[in-house]
Chains A and B, each alone.
Chain A
Amino acid sequence: MWDRNQMAARAAKELQDGWYVNLGIGIPTLVSNYIPEGITVTLQSENGMLGMGPFPFEGEEDPDLINAGKQTITELPHTAYFDSATSFGMIRGGKIAMAILGAMEVSETGDLANWMIPGKLVKGMGGAMDLVAGVGRVVVVMDHANKHGESKVLKSCTLPLTGTGVVDLIITNLGVLEVVPGGLKLLELADGVTEAELRAATEATLV
């Protein structure tokens, strides 16, 4: 089984040289630690920045320089800043090659639910709906099952959707699944996980 860092490392293998990429909050943020040697990607932060750098050294935090998770960050030599309308223009306009996002549920048709649990605290979708609608490729990184042990890889989502038919690839602690016509295709098993175990943990149709 993969841990958070191994899932992030696996997601990083999806990156291609020269891409502009948006990383979501949580495990996706860790992907930036595993960008393969020889590959240059530019990270977009949807609050208005391309070329997101690492966290600042203590004492060098700048309140005017944060990422979409509201964390203090730094800039790089190729950084550019812009306003929120421009930021989502490049997202909606398909200029961002890939988004790597967390999820609560994913369906076999690529539907994504990652913003709201009815009856629980509603925080909002932030930029997630715009990202999944607009970017070239959507990769979801999440645990295969929820806290109650129920599959998060479903025939159809039960939670309010972030987007329909938007997910291309699902990376979980058990393996890698691609969204294809008719269901999900198993591409890879996590270390020490058998196909039978992954199938048993998956409600969605595997083709």
Chain B
Amino acid sequence: MKKVYGSAQDALDGVLFDGMMIASGGFGLCGIPELLIDGLVASGVKDLTVAANNAGVDDFGLGKLLATKQIRKMMSSYVGENAEFMRQYLSGELELEFNPQGTLAERMRAGGAGIPGFYTKTGVGTVIAEGKEVKTFDGQDYILERGIVADLSIVKAWKADETGNAVFRKTARNFNPPAAMCGKICIMEVEEIVPTGSLDPDTIHLPGIYVHRLIQGTHEKRIEQRTTRPRAA
């Protein structure tokens, strides 16, 4: 079965419905599925629940889907860089479920690995624990967190072969593998699709079994906080 599609719009065709849940890779603006986010904007799909570590900035990343009010609920760990997000949240237009960052990553990983729930000590004794089962193991309290299974995953890798075996680059890997794992359907965008057989099987970060549709394109890769040091004179 052919996984390679010609564009984000083609790849998203037939998998979208209003009210669906989407898991997205990326950390800040690093390693985000830029092309698929644009494709979602163009599709007009709405009432989305989006599980993603962050919500982008006002005019880039998931911020684009917030600007068009296509997102109903965010499941995130940190949303500090987005003024429109704050406006919608404070006015009650947007629902927000805070997840500790590691809990969010593990919820995705677990959901993709067939684990419906797990116990973690993260958040014990905090508002995150409210309403969650507490269980004591070896004298220490843990709370029950649920695995996430999303209707769709949108992720970004550096390179993939035509079967979806993927390689990420530096810290752009971040949430992409766990997000890919937790989707009933996963669409991946890459900078380069390489011929099958040209990637060393020992260096694959994410096996193609998790990737259902694949597109290649050009990425803006915007830098959120450009920090440098002076060169020695």
List the interface of chain A (C-beta within 8 A of B): 45-49, 54-58, 60-73, 75, 81-85, 87-89, 91-92, 111, 121-130, 133-134, 160-165
Contact = CB atoms under 8 A, between A and B. Distances in A.
A83 B105 contact: yes
A85 B177 contact: yes
A49 B171 contact: yes
Nearest to A161: B126
Contact of B170 (A54, A65, A88, A165): A65
A124 B80 contact: yes
Interface string B220-233: 01111111111100
- Give the interface size class of chain B: 35 or more
A129 B102 CA distance: 8
B227 to A, nearest CB: 4
Contacts of B173: 48, 81-83
Contacts of B178: 83-85
Contacts of A121: 80, 86
A165 B140 CA distance: 12
Contacts of B31: 64
A50 to B, nearest CB: 11
A91 B80 contact: no
9 contacts: A58-B230, A64-B158, A65-B171, A72-B227, A81-B173, A122-B79, A123-B78, A127-B101, A130-B100
B204 interface: no
Contact of A66 (B98, B122, B126, B224): B224
Interface of B: 27-31, 53, 76-81, 86, 89, 96, 98, 100-106, 108-109, 120-128, 158, 168-178, 205, 221-231
B126 A47 contact: no
A71 B206 CA distance: 26
Nearest to B123: A129
Contact of B169 (A64, A89, A160): A64
B228 A57 contact: yes
Contact of A55 (B98, B125, B177, B229): B229
B89 to A, nearest CB: 8
Contacts of B28: 47, 66, 70
B100 A84 contact: no
A165 B224 CA distance: 34
B228 A72 contact: yes
Given A63-B221, A160-B127, A127 B77 contact: yes
Given A61-B223, A66-B171, A72-B227, A123 B30 contact: no
Contacts of B121: 92, 133-134
B27 A133 contact: no
Contacts of A49: 170-171
Contacts of B108: 85
Contacts of B100: 125, 127-130
Contacts of B230: 57-58
B102 A127 contact: yes
B61 to A, nearest CB: 12
